[in-house]
Amino acid sequence: MTTKAFRLASIALGASLTLGAFAVPVFAAGDDSSTTPTCKKGEIYDQKAKKCVKQQSANVTDENRADYAYSLAKKDHRYEEALAVLDTMKNPNTAEALNYRGYATRKLGRTDEGISYYQKSVAMDPKYTLVREYLGEAYVIKGQMDLAKDQLGTIKTLCGNTSCEEYRDLHAAILNPSSL
């Protein structure tokens, strides 16, 4: 092998290794809300089986259903489908499920309905910072900045500082309401 050919091969190998280090699964790229793969409509990702199954499958836990619904709403903007998945839960009255239902309904433009779900979630788990962020964002949409700032203050207290993601996201929404 000539010196020139060896250099070219070394450069090609180095480039391949560098690009490989930055490779991520398609479903994990972009939003960090979930690394859950997206299934066809009417299916749900079964975390235990690591595959898509029929939505009505009895083997999928409520927690799995709630997580998948949130992934559909947050990552894929499939809000109606997210609500349909939440409707299949045996116990849809958990803080997480109510928060995710609030998120999907708010994103569908039904802000008051979303707020009612967020408030139920807060009542179940007052220390759940993600629901407080989303409740605050709903208040921003409604122009109720005082209530949004109340949620921001509560998040700061719960996090112990202003560096947690929920605080940063709500603070950004208060500063720039048009971002919502």
pLDDT tens profile 87-113 = 999 999 999 999 999 999 999 999 999
Q: Residue 50 gets which letter from DSSP?
A: T
CA 173 centroid distance within chain: 16
User: Could you tell me the domains of the chain?
Assistant: 37-92 (no CATH), 98-179 (1.25.40.10)
Pair of tokens at residue 13: 């190998």
Q: Contact, 129 vs 158, CB < 8 A?
A: yes
Pair of tokens at residue 64: 């799995």
Pair of tokens at residue 125: 């788990």
Helix (H) or strand (E) holding 51: strand 51-54
CA dihedral in degrees (111, 178, 75, 156; nearest 10)? -80
- Summarised one tens digit per residue, pLDDT across range 109-139 is 999 999 999 999 999 999 999 999 999 999 9
